[in-house]
Amino acid sequence: MRADARRNRDRVLEAARAVFAERGASASTEEIAAKAGVGIGTVFRHFPTKEVLLEAILLDRVAKISAEARRLTTAPDPGAALLALVKHMVEQGATKRMYINALADAGLDSLGSRVGQSTVGREMVDELGALLARAQVAGAIRHDIGVTELIALVVGVSRAAEYTAWDGGVLARTLEVVIDGLRARG
């Protein structure tokens, strides 16, 4: 692969991350090309479809969550670890739309979900599942929910945040309600 090709590929990915995060998935390819400082043709040579480009970024995000979850699997307090991860995901998701779309997609098994059927996507679900199970065994988290519900809650709070012009306080309090709801009753 030629040096300029690799350089431009990276630039496009970087620009796409920024533009999608700011404008959502409906952002135009032209804007991405402009931000990357390349022609439109170059974008489409590296990523034959807008969807492919989107997918590349989503998979990257999911992989990062997955890594974070794996890191926390060995944390001393399983309950605190899970709640911290939830908090982290929501806070990331509140500012970066793509982040949360990737999550939502990964939570799906259904046809039409690319991330959900990818290896990376399944890995993340497994990782989250392990973390959740540990927290439940430790008695910190209620037993009547699974990974799907957990993902749904994170996606929900983030997605709500997407539309509202909140100050941070509202997000924090909303998240607090969800976290309290997740705790095992005792």
Partner DNA sequence: TGACAAACGGAGTGCGTACTCCGTATGTTG
Partner DNA sequence: CAACATACGGAGTACGCACTCCGTTTGTCA
Binding site for its own copies (CB under 8 A): 104-105, 107-110, 142, 144-145, 148-149, 152-153, 155-161, 163-166, 170, 173-174, 176-182, 185
Is the CB of 41 or the CB of 186 nearer to its own copies? 186
The binder of 164, among its own copies, DNA, none, by C-beta within 5 to 8 A per type, is: its own copies
- Say how many CA atoms lie within 13 Å of 130 toward its Cβ: 15
Query: What's the rounded Cα separation, in Å, for the pair 162 and 160?
Result: 5
Among residues 78, 87, 176, 84, which one has the least CA distance to residue 136?
78
Query: What's the rounded Cα separation, in Å, for the pair 181 and 62?
Result: 25
| Shortest spacing between CB 31 and DNA, in angstroms | 8
| Shortest spacing between CB 44 and its own copies, in angstroms | 24
| Shortest spacing between CB 49 and its own copies, in angstroms | 19
The binder of 10, among DNA, its own copies, none, by C-beta within 5 to 8 A per type, is: none
Among residues 84, 123, 81, 89, which one has the least CA distance to residue 106?
123
* Residues 64-79: b if buried by 16+ CB within 10 A, e if exposed: ebbebbbebeeeeebb
The binder of 185, among its own copies, DNA, none, by C-beta within 5 to 8 A per type, is: its own copies
Is the CB of 82 or the CB of 115 nearer to DNA? 115
Query: What's the rounded Cα separation, in Å, for the pair 101 and 99?
Result: 6
| Shortest spacing between CB 33 and DNA, in angstroms | 8
